[in-house]
């Protein structure tokens, strides 16, 4: 693994915590030159310092992926420093928890701006360099991008949009050696549920799930590197996700009811 990723230039969005931070650290451990992007500059500085203090090569660019100019700057500064891009991991994301009947439409706009448009902007500016290096374009997704999840309309919509976007990029560049992978972790122990938006756009502030029983960010990060090494197309990290992708084509109504029942059992569920 270290031989494969040594000196590769890797950009990771949403790298200030959770899955993004774990991915950045994992690439650094394997000898990559890592560019961390997120909005929280103090956290980015802390992670970058920790990576470089142990001999890693990293720097950060404060980036709000929902702002096109920020994404252009991110790519520009990466090229200015390293002269190439080998891997772009579109990880930055925002979640929500509210029924569509109750949610303010501005919440859906916010989800699309971060999750979908953030992926579009970063990919747009990085793509020529990824094609030149015959690199990898990664989207960190969810089972919500394969089957709609109740109470997560904006989140599912954004992930479905990302899937369509990345699949089309893959097809358009079949002859150019570009690798495109969509990776879908299960519920992972991160801050995303605490920051998930409620019906009025406020953060819910607490997780409705037992975080100790969830997938670890480090586990997801290792699979990102494995997926790139194996040139995976889609990688679902849970059996629930794999069964969903399969059975939605065979018994979709059963899958609908399974997710309805699961989500309705969450504490303070918006699904009745």
| For residues 56-72, average pLDDT | 98
Q: Does 241 reside within a domain?
A: yes
Q: Does 270 reside within a domain?
A: no
CATH assignment of the domain containing 96: 3.40.50.720
Q: Does 55 reside within a domain?
A: yes
* Distance (Å, whole) CA 203 – CA 193: 9
| For residues 116-135, average pLDDT | 98
131-183 pLDDT tens trace:
999 999 999 998 888 989 899 999 999 999 999 999 999 999 999 999 999 99
The whole-number pLDDT of residue 90 equals 98
Which of the following is catalytic: 121, 129, 155, 259? 155
206-237 pLDDT tens trace:
656 555 667 788 989 999 999 999 999 999 88
Mean pLDDT of the chain: 91
155 counts as catalytic: yes
Q: Does 246 reside within a domain?
A: yes
Q: How confident is the model at residue 200 (pLDDT cuts 50, 70, 90)?
A: confident
Q: Does 91 reside within a domain?
A: yes
Q: Which residue range forms the structural domain that includes residue 252?
A: 2-264
* Host H or E run for residue 33: strand 33-38
Residue 92 — φ and ψ, nearest 5°? Answer: -55, 130
Q: Does 269 reside within a domain?
A: no
Give the total number of structural domains in the chain. Answer: 1
Q: Does 67 reside within a domain?
A: yes
The whole-number pLDDT of residue 193 equals 54
Is this model's pTM higher than 0.75 or not?
Answer: yes
| For residues 254-269, average pLDDT | 84
């Amino acid at each position: 693994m270290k031989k494969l990723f040594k000196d590769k230039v890797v950009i990771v969005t949403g790298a200030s915590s959770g899955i993004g931070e774990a991915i950045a650290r994992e690439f650094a451990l394997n000898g990559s030159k890592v560019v961390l992007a997120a909005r929280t500059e103090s956290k980015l500085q802390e992670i970058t310092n920790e990576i470089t203090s142990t001999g890693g090569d990293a720097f950060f660019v404060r980036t709000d992926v929902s702002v096109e100019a920020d994404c252009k700057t991110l790519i520009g500064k990466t090229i200015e420093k390293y002269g190439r891009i080998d891997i772009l991991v579109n990880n930055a994301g925002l979640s929500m928890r509210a029924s569509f009947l109750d949610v303010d439409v501005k919440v859906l706009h916010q989800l699309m701006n971060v999750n979908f448009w953030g992926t579009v902007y970063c990919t747009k500016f990085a793509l020529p360099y990824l094609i030149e290096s015959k690199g990898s374009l990664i989207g960190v997704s969810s089972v919500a991008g394969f089957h709609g999840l109740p109470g997560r309309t904006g989140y599912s919509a954004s992930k479905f949009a990302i899937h369509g976007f990345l699949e089309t990029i893959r097809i358009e560049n079949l002859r150019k050696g570009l690798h495109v992978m969509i990776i879908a972790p299960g519920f992972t122990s991160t801050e995303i549920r605490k920051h998930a938006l409620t019906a009025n756009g406020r953060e819910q502030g607490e997780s409705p799930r037992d975080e100790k029983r969830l997938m670890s960010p480090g586990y997801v990060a290792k699979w990102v590197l494995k997926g790139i090494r194996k040139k995976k197309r889609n990688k679902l990290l849970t059996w629930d996700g794999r069964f969903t992708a399969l059975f939605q084509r065979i018994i979709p109504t059963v899958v609908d009811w399974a997710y309805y029942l699961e989500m309705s059992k969450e504490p303070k569920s918006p699904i009745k």
